[in-house]
């Protein structure tokens, strides 16, 4: 109680009562300070009603590994198809004939190539998306945490598995590249 009361002016005189600001400081900063429980309802927040069993079941399904893998597969298929169609649309070698280099490709040839390339890219992106999602879900289940390390580890595993088909060096490069890309995406999204 350093600042509790001013010193007495004469010896033998009773000390005056403590100043009010000292009591206030003890309650705000000192030992008597009570921790505040953060409750959004007291701050004017919208109270959330309890979840029904159907809502809990839908949440469990949406957080499951098979659902995440299926969603990544469908998303990769759509994104890959769009990317394949776009690259086929701007490719100048569609319908190229070495015997007649000045021949203009027909619309049928261009559309056929766009469809073939779109399906090819869609399948590849779907496989990579499903591999990454399954691996990330398994790593998250194993570690018991949801942080950036899961995406880096699963990116390394996915990139290494894809690159390993071309050899050990390609597997190591694929692991590092896909892990770095996963870390960058995770950093940007979080």
pLDDT at 187: 87
**For the whole prediction, is pTM greater than 0.85?**
no
Same domain? 66 vs 141: yes
3 pLDDT more than 60: no
DSSP 43-83: TTPPPPPPPPHHHHHHHHHHTSHHHHHHHHHHHHHHHHHHH
pLDDT 10s digits, 43-66: 666 667 788 899 999 999 998 989
Tokens describing residue 189: 């999204």
Same domain? 165 vs 110: no
Kindly indicate the confidence band of residue 18, based on its pLDDT and cuts at 50, 70 and 90.
Answer: low
Residue 15 lies in a domain: no
Quickly count: other Cβ atoms within 10 Å of residue 69's Cβ.
19
Same domain? 112 vs 159: no
pLDDT at 12: 66
pLDDT at 16: 62
Same domain? 126 vs 166: no
> In which domain, by residue range, is 123 found?
62-92+104-145
pLDDT 10s digits, 20-33: 767 777 767 766 66
Kindly indicate the confidence band of residue 144, based on its pLDDT and cuts at 50, 70 and 90.
Answer: confident
Among 38-52, 82-96, 114-128, 151-165, the minimum mean pLDDT is found in 38-52
Question: Which of 145, 160, 178 is at the close of a domain?
Answer: 145
Give the ranges where the chain is alpha helix by DSSP (H).
Answer: 20-28, 53-62, 65-90, 107-143, 148-163, 168-189
Quickly count: other Cβ atoms within 10 Å of residue 169's Cβ.
10
1 pLDDT more than 50: no
């Amino acid at each position: 109680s350093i600042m509790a009361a001013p010193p007495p002016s004469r010896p033998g005189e009773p000390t005056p009562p403590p100043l009010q600001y000292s009591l206030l400081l003890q309650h705000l900063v000192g030992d008597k300070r009570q921790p505040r429980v953060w409750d959004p309802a007291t701050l004017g927040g919208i109270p959330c009603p309890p979840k029904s069993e159907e809502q809990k079941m839908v949440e469990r399904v949406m957080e499951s590994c098979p659902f995440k893998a299926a969603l990544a597969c469908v998303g990769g298929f759509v994104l890959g198809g769009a990317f394949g169609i776009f690259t086929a649309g701007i490719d100048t070698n569609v319908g190229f004939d070495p015997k007649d280099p000045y021949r203009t490709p027909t619309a049928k040839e261009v559309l056929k190539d766009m469809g073939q390339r779109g399906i090819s890219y869609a399948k590849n992106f779907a496989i990579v998306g499903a591999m990454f999602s399954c691996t990330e879900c398994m790593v998250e289940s194993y570690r018991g945490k949801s942080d950036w390390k899961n995406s880096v580890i699963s990116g390394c595993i996915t990139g290494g598995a894809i690159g390993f088909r071309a050899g050990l060096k390609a597997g190591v490069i694929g692991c590092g590249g896909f892990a770095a890309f996963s870390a960058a995406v995770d950093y940007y999204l979080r």
